[in-house]
Structure 1
Amino acid sequence: MAKSKPTASTAPKARRPAPLALVKNDPWLAPYEPVLRRRQARLQARIEEIEKYHGSLAQYATAHQQLGLYHDATRGGYVYREWAPGAEALFLIGDFNQWDRQAHPLRRLEFGVWEVFLPDAEYKNRLTHGSLYKVHVVTAGGGKDRLPATLRRAVQNEQTKDFAGQVWQPETPFAWTDQKFKIAAAVMEPLIYEAHVGMATEEGRVGTYREFAENILPRIEAGGYNVVQLMAVMEHPYYGSFGYHVANLFAASSRFGTPEDLKFLINEAHRRGIAVLLDIVHSHAVKNEAEGLANFDGSGNLYFHRGDRGNHPGWDSKLFDYGRDEVQRFLLSNLRFWLEEYHFDGFRFDGVTSMLYHHHGEGVAFVGYDNYFGPGADEDAILYLQLATTLAHELKKGSLLIAEDMSGLPGLCRPIKEGGVGFDYRLAMGIPDFWIKLLKHTPDEHWPLGELWHTLSNRRAGEKTVAYAESHDQALVGDKTLAHWLFDAGIYTHMQAGDPDPGAARALALHKLIRLLTLSVGGEAYLTFIGNEFGHPEWVDFPREGNGWSYQFARRQWSLSENPDLKFHQLGAFDKALVQMARGQHLLAAGPATLLKHDEENKVLVYERGGLVFVVNLHIEKSLTDYRFWVTQEGQYRVVLSSDNSRFGGFDRTDEGFVYETFEHQLSLYVPSRVALVLARA
C-alpha cells in the first residue's frame, strides 16, 4: 500500500537554530543575527579553503619562511624570493655584487613569485652576516631599488639616510631561557605598562633594547605591572611617527639595537614574570616607496587597495586590501613571526576602528546598531581580524589580544563561536577623553558624579576592557598629560614635597583620585603610559624640523621620580601602592564595581568591588565627619589604602590604624575632602 505524502500541515517543520550566545546576551542584536551568522559562515568557508590547500591555518601563515632572503642548507646557498606579479623584472643587488642592477636577475615562478639562488660555493665569502642588500624592481614605470617585503632587518646609512636590508645570521643564535614562563596571570589581571624603548632614557638620545631591559624592566616590576606593551618595534623610516607609519613589518627597528637585543629584553621580562605585547600595526602602512610596500610591483594595488580606497584620508598612509588572499597570508604570517621568532605574548592591534569600516570611523557617531552592521562595515577586514585572533590563540595558548576600537562594535571581544571577532580586550577610549574634557571645561565643584560613574562603568556585558586615564595619545605634543592639565605652570615651580601651594595640592590630589577611580571602576585591565605614573612634567615630541631635531621631549626624567623631596616621587609611590593593592586583592579579576552611594551634594561616591569598599570624596573643600553609608557585609573594616597618606603627598587626616565596625550594615567614617579611602574586611 502506498504511503500518503505528508501535507503542509503535517510535515515536520525545520528547527530554527538556537540564537547565538552574543544575541542571547544582547536582544538588541536579534535583527543583525543573520549578519553575524554570515560572518561565521564566511570564516568557516575560508578556513576550510585554507586547510584544503595548505593543511592548516598555522601552515598557511608561513609566507615569511618562503619569501625573502634566507639560507637554505639543503640546497647549499641563499635563496631570495619575492611576490611581485605585476613586475617586469627583479634583480637582487647589494654589496656582494657592488650593487650591480643587472648581475643577479630573478626568474619568474608560478603565482607571481620570483626567485634567485646564490650557491655557497660562489657566495659564501661574499654574502655574509652584516651584508647589505636590496631588490631592484623593474615595472612599466621604470626601475626602482626597493626593500624586500618580508625583510627581517633594515639599517639606515648615517650619511645618506637611506635604508637597506641587512643579512642577519649570527654564528650563535640567541639562547632563550623563558620556557617556564606562563602568561596566565597577566591574562587574568593585565596591568599594562605602555612603553617606547627609544624615549626610555633620561639622556637626549635614542635608547636601546638592552638599556630598557636593564634599567626600565626593574622599574616596571617594582611598580607592580605584569605586562609591558612595546610601541614602535616594527621598523619605521621616520622616528617621529611614534612607530605608526610602518615600512618593514617583519623587521625589529634597528635604531634600538639588534634582534638579539630585543630577544634579550623579552627574555628578561619573562624572567621577571612580565608578559610582553607588541603594538602591531596592520591597519595601515607608510606610503614611502623607497622603504615600504607601496606600488611594489608597479600595479598600484599589490598589498593595498587601488586608487583613493588605498589611501587613508586622515593618516597620510596606505590601506591594506584584506580581501586579497596573498595579503591575508602576508599579515597572518607577520603575526606568527612575532609570536615565534621573538616570543611576544600577544598584540595590541592599532587602529582597529579604521579597519572595521570603509569610512574608518572618521566623522561618524556610532549611535545605533546600523552603524556596526550596515554597508559601512568592511567585511573583508572583519574576516581578516577573525582569522588573526583564531591564529594567535591557536599558536600561543593564552595570548593576549587587545583591540584599539572607539566604535564599540558588539562582539569584538567575544569568541567567534558566539558571533564575535575573537579579541580578549578592547581599550576603553572614552575614559581618557572624559577626564580631559572634564579638566578642560568643568570647574571641580561642578563635576557631574552621575556622568563620571556612567562613563567609568558603562561597557558591554561580557566584553573586557582596558581602562586607562591616559595613554601615549594624551601625552603627545599638541595635547597635555593629565599632570600638565592639573599642575599647569606649577609643574615647574611648585613640585617640592613641602611646597604648600594650594593649586599644586589640588593637582596632586586629583591626579591620584583619577587613577584610583579609573583602575577600580573602569575595566578588567588597566594601562599607564611610561612616566605618567609619576606625573611626568612634559609631553612627548620626537626630534623633527619644527623643534630643531631636539630630544628634549623624547625622553623620560626618571630622576624626578627618585627624588623624595619632589611631588613626582609621591605620585609614583601612590601609583605603586594602588597597583600592588589591585594585584593583592585580585581586583581586576573580580566582577564590575557596585555603586553603594551616589551623593551629589557632598560629591561622594561609595562602591564595592572584589570585596573592597571605596569611598571617594571629590568635594573641593568639605571634609565629612561621621559620614555613613551602607555596605553589603557586616563586620570590621580597616583602611588598606588612603590617598591622604603623607607618603603620597597627603595630610594624614585619617587614622589608618583604626578598625571600623558596622552597625546595622552601615559604616561611619571621617572622609577628608579630595581623598579616597579603600577599606577591606579586617
Structure 2
Amino acid sequence: METPTFIKNDPWLKPFEHAIKKRIKHYQTTLADINRIFGNLYQMAGGYDYYGLHDIGDAYRLREWAPNATQLFLIGDFSKWLCDKRYEFEKKDNGNWEVLIPKSVIKHGDLFKLHMFWQGGDGLRLPSHINRVVQDEKTKIFSAQVWQPQEKYKWDDQGFIPQVNPLLIYEGHVGMSSEEEKVNTFSEFKDKVLPRIIKAGYTTIQLMAIQEHPYYGSFGYHVSNYFAVSSRFGTPEELKDLINEAHKNGIAVIMDIVHSHAVKNREEGLAFFDGTVYQYFHDGPRGEHPAWDSKCFNYGKMEVLQFLLSNCRYWIEEFHFDGFRFDGVTSMLYTHHGLEYSFSSYSDYYNGTEDTDAMTYLTLANQLIHHINPHAISVAEDMSGLPGLASAVQDGGLGFDYRLSMGVPDFWIKMIKEYSDEHWNVGQIFHELSQHRYGEKTISYAESHDQALVGDKTIIFRLVDKEMYDKMDLASESLIIDRGLALHKMIRLATLSTAYGGYLNFMGNEFGHPEWIDFPREGNNWSYKYARRQWGLMDNSELKFKYLAAFDKAMIEKAKTDFLLDNMPCYGVNINESDQLMCFKRGRFYFIFNWSPSNSYTDYGIFTDAGKYRIILSTDNSKFGGYANVDESLTYFAERMPFNSDQYQLKLYIPARTAFVMERLPTKRVH
C-alpha cells in the first residue's frame, strides 16, 4: 500500500504509518465484504426498507432482526394488548422475523408494540426501525405508532446546494427555541425562529435532538429510536416542512446524529432487545460507557454496521438532511473513549487503544453520505485531534469534511475564569485560535450548547454576571457591562476570523443570551425557565443586547462576502504581548485587536503591504454599542518604513478593548 497522502503532508506521522495502514486495510476489507454480501454500500444501507413497518398494498409488513428470540408477537388494541396467534411473527433466516397485518386490523395512527420471548424470559419492545414513537401524557409510556399518512409529503427544494464557503452554522434545539416556558414545535420553529436565522445571515442550521429520546433533559443524546423523529416536537411531515422551507431560503440543515452510544432503556430502546446484551452492543464492561451511563455499539458486527449506515441513508433520503454532525466521535475512536487522555503526542493516537471497527464505520458512513449527496456535509465532534479525521477517504483519511475545533471554547472559558484580561497573553490567543491541521477544515466556535449547560454559564454571563439583570438598559452606565460587551464582540470576531473552514454559534448566543441551560427535572421542580430562548431581550430597542446581535449579523455578512472565502492562510503580523496588541492578515484583510483594557495607542505601526486601506468592520462602531472612537470614513495609506524602503506600515489609532478589520483596496491600473 502506498503511503497515504495525509502522512506525506505531516512527516511526524511517519513512525505510525504501519498502524495507519492497518486501519485503512481494515476499512478496505470490510468494504469488500459488504460489496460481496450486499452488492454495494448503498444497497447495504437500504436496511430501513427491509426492516420496520411498511405498506405493501393490502397489508402492513413488519420485519425484525432478533436472533436470540424464540417467539415474537405484535400487540395493540387489535389484540387487547395480549399475545394473539393471528399476529405472531414467522421466523426467517439469519435471525430475522416477519409478520403481515391486514389493513383491516391496523391503520394510520394506531399504537402497537412487540412482545418478544427468549429462552428464560420475555419483554415488551418497540420495533428497532420504527419511524414514529409517541408518549402517553398520563402514563408516560412510549408506544410505536403506525405512521402511514395517505398523502406523501411533497418537496419543492429540488436543486438545493449548501453554501459551504464558508460554512456558518446556527446550532438549534427546536424544543427550547420558544420564549414561552414550554416545548416548542417544528412548525413554530419554522414560522418564528427560521426567519431570525435567515436575517442573521447563517448558511446552515444544525438541529439537535431529532432522534427520539425518552428523557427530554438528555438534550437528545440518549437515543432510543434511531429512525423516529422526536414526537414531542411534532410530526415527521412538520420536520420535512421546516427543512423544505430552510432550503427554499438558501439554508442547509444538518442533523446532530448520535451513533456513538445508545440509551440503556430496554422497553423503549435497543438494550437487551432480544434478551441479550450483545445483539447491538459489546458484551461485558466494554458495552457500558463509564461516563455517559449508556450502551456502546459493537461496530465490528455487520448487522450493526447495516443498522447505523441505513440510519444515515434514511435521514438524508427521507428528510433531505444535508448531512450530519456526528456526536461523540472521540468516544468512538478509542476503547478508552478519550476519558482522562491528554492527547499530548502522536503516540497517544497509535498505542493499541484505537477502535478500528469504529474508525471503519465512520469511514464507511462518510463514503455513503457523499455517495448519496456529493454536496453533503459531515462534521466530527472530536476533541482528540486524530490526524486524518477530516482528510478524504482516498487520501487515507476517515472522510469527514470538517472537525469541530473543541479546544477553542475551552480556551476562552479558561481565559475568562482564570485570568483578568489585563493578563491575557495575545501570543497564546493567536496560537490557540489559528492552529489547524494542514488540509483539514475545522469549525471554530467561542461557545456552543455545551458551554452553557447547568452548572456553567454563557460567555456574556461570565463577563458581566449580576450586572446583566439591571444594567443592560440604554440609560444605565456600567463599566462592567461596557467591558463585557467589548470582549464579547472581540472574542467572537477573533474566533471567526481565524477559522479554517467554518464557524458555529448556538441559538441566542449571538445576542448574548443570559445565564445557562437547564432542562426541566426534579431538581428544578420541572421548570422550563432555563430551557427556552429570550428573544425579547434582543428585540427590545431599549436594551443593549441589540448591539451584540447587530455586530454578529455584520460580522457574519463580512465573513461570507469577504474575509473567510476560500480559507486563505492566516499569518501573524504584529503579535505584541507587552502591548496586548494582536494583528494578523488573511489575503487582503488585516485584523487588529487591542486586548488591553486601559491602553489606547496613537500612530501605532502595523506592518502591511503597500497600498491604501479602509475599515470594513469595527467593534467600536456606535451601532454595535461602541464609542465610535475609530473613524471608519477614512482611507488609510501605507507608508514606507523608516530606514527600510522595502517595507510598509499603517499608522493607526487603536483604542483599548477594540478590534477592527481593514481591507486593502484594489489599485487602479495605469494604461
TM class, shorter-chain normalised?
over 0.9
Conservation of the 8 A alpha-carbon contact between 1:495 and 1:567: yes
Conservation of the 8 A alpha-carbon contact between 2:212 and 2:226: yes
Picking from 398, 401, 412, the partner of 1:424 is 401
Name 2:36's counterpart in structure 1. Answer: 52
Name 1:657's counterpart in structure 2. Answer: 633
Give, as a single letter, the amino acid of the residue that structure 2 aligns with 1:148. P
Name 2:644's counterpart in structure 1. Answer: none
Conservation of the 8 A alpha-carbon contact between 2:122 and 2:275: no
Name 2:25's counterpart in structure 1. Answer: 41
Output the CA distance in 1 between the equivalents of 2:349 and 2:210.
31
Output the CA distance in 2 between the equivalents of 1:543 and 1:387.
38
What SS is found at the alignment partner of 2:195? helix
Picking from 422, 426, 430, the partner of 1:453 is 430
Output the CA distance in 2 between the equivalents of 1:660 and 1:271.
41
What SS is found at the alignment partner of 1:387? helix
Conservation of the 8 A alpha-carbon contact between 2:76 and 2:113: yes
Q: CA offset at residue 305 of structure 1? A: 0.7
What SS is found at the alignment partner of 1:628? strand
Conservation of the 8 A alpha-carbon contact between 1:523 and 1:588: no
Give, as a single letter, the amino acid of the residue that structure 1 aligns with 2:435. N
1:82 aligns with 2:64: yes
Name 2:252's counterpart in structure 1. Answer: 275
1:673 aligns with 2:656: yes
Give, as a single letter, the amino acid of the residue that structure 2 aligns with 1:532. N
Give, as a single letter, the amino acid of the residue that structure 1 aligns with 2:490. L
Percent identity of paired positions between Structure 1 and Structure 2: 52
Moved runs in structure 1, 4+ residues, more than 6 A? none
Q: CA offset at residue 586 of structure 1? A: 4.9
Output the CA distance in 2 between the equivalents of 1:190 and 1:324.
34
Conservation of the 8 A alpha-carbon contact between 1:153 and 1:252: yes
Picking from 115, 118, 121, the partner of 1:136 is 115
1:108 aligns with 2:84: no
Conservation of the 8 A alpha-carbon contact between 2:260 and 2:331: yes
5+ residue gaps, structure 2: 641-647, 666-671
Q: CA offset at residue 18 of structure 1? A: 4.6
What SS is found at the alignment partner of 1:485? helix
Output the CA distance in 1 between the equivalents of 2:82 and 2:2.
65
Name 1:334's counterpart in structure 2. Answer: 311
Name 2:135's counterpart in structure 1. Answer: 156
Q: After the TM superposition, which residues 596-675 of structure 1 pair with which residues of structure 2 at under 5 Å, given as runs?
A: 596-632=573-609, 634-664=610-640, 665-675=648-658
Q: After the TM superposition, which residues 286-297 of structure 1 pair with which residues of structure 2 at under 5 Å, given as runs?
A: 286-297=263-274
1:490 aligns with 2:467: yes
TM-score (norm 1): 0.95
What SS is found at the alignment partner of 1:373? coil
Give, as a single letter, the amino acid of the residue that structure 1 aligns with 2:110. S
Q: CA offset at residue 303 of structure 1? A: 0.5
Output the CA distance in 2 between the equivalents of 1:295 and 1:375.
29
Q: CA offset at residue 421 of structure 1? A: 0.6
Q: CA offset at residue 417 of structure 1? A: 1.8
Conservation of the 8 A alpha-carbon contact between 2:265 and 2:271: yes
Output the CA distance in 2 between the equivalents of 1:587 and 1:110.
55
What SS is found at the alignment partner of 1:589? helix
Name 2:643's counterpart in structure 1. Answer: none
Output the CA distance in 2 between the equivalents of 1:260 and 1:55.
32
Q: CA offset at residue 40 of structure 1? A: 2.1
Give, as a single letter, the amino acid of the residue that structure 2 aligns with 1:666. Q
Conservation of the 8 A alpha-carbon contact between 1:497 and 1:649: no
Give, as a single letter, the amino acid of the residue that structure 2 aligns with 1:159. K
5+ residue gaps, structure 1: 1-16
1:324 aligns with 2:301: yes
Q: CA offset at residue 443 of structure 1? A: 1.1
RMSD: 1.1
Name 1:235's counterpart in structure 2. Answer: 212
Output the CA distance in 1 between the equivalents of 2:193 and 2:294.
32
Spell out, residue by residue over 1:643-676, the C-alpha distance to the aligned partner (whole angstroms, 9 max, x if none): 0011111001111101111111211111110001
Q: CA offset at residue 588 of structure 1? A: 4.6
Output the CA distance in 2 between the equivalents of 1:299 and 1:126.
31
Q: CA offset at residue 627 of structure 1? A: 1.0
Name 2:669's counterpart in structure 1. Answer: none
Output the CA distance in 1 between the equivalents of 2:500 and 2:3.
27
Spell out, residue by residue over 1:90-140, the C-alpha distance to the aligned partner (whole angstroms, 9 max, x if none): 101112322122342111110000111123xxxx23311101111001123
Name 2:350's counterpart in structure 1. Answer: 373
Residues 18/129 of structure 1: CA separation in 2 closer, same or farther (3 Å cut): closer
Output the CA distance in 2 between the equivalents of 1:383 and 1:588.
32
Conservation of the 8 A alpha-carbon contact between 2:500 and 2:567: no
Conservation of the 8 A alpha-carbon contact between 2:621 and 2:627: yes
Conservation of the 8 A alpha-carbon contact between 1:189 and 1:586: no
What SS is found at the alignment partner of 2:289? coil
Output the CA distance in 2 between the equivalents of 1:431 and 1:291.
37
Conservation of the 8 A alpha-carbon contact between 1:585 and 1:610: no
Q: CA offset at residue 680 of structure 1? A: 1.0
Output the CA distance in 1 between the equivalents of 2:632 and 2:186.
42
1:170 aligns with 2:152: no
Output the CA distance in 2 between the equivalents of 1:619 and 1:295.
58
Conservation of the 8 A alpha-carbon contact between 1:247 and 1:285: yes
Output the CA distance in 2 between the equivalents of 1:561 and 1:365.
39
Output the CA distance in 2 between the equivalents of 1:366 and 1:654.
43
Larger mean Cα displacement after TM superposition, 406-415 or 515-524: 515-524
Residues matched between the structures, number: 657
Give, as a single letter, the amino acid of the residue that structure 1 aligns with 2:602. T
1:201 aligns with 2:183: no
TM-score (norm 2): 0.97
Conservation of the 8 A alpha-carbon contact between 1:356 and 1:378: yes
Output the CA distance in 1 between the equivalents of 2:484 and 2:206.
28
Conservation of the 8 A alpha-carbon contact between 2:512 and 2:545: yes
Picking from 240, 264, 271, the partner of 2:241 is 264
Larger mean Cα displacement after TM superposition, 520-529 or 269-278: 520-529
Q: After the TM superposition, which residues 262-661 of structure 1 pair with which residues of structure 2 at under 5 Å, given as runs?
A: 262-632=239-609, 634-661=610-637
Give, as a single letter, the amino acid of the residue that structure 1 aligns with 2:136. N
Spell out, residue by residue over 1:397-426, the C-alpha distance to the aligned partner (whole angstroms, 9 max, x if none): 121000000000000000122121110110
Q: CA offset at residue 438 of structure 1? A: 0.5
Picking from 80, 89, 105, the partner of 1:98 is 80
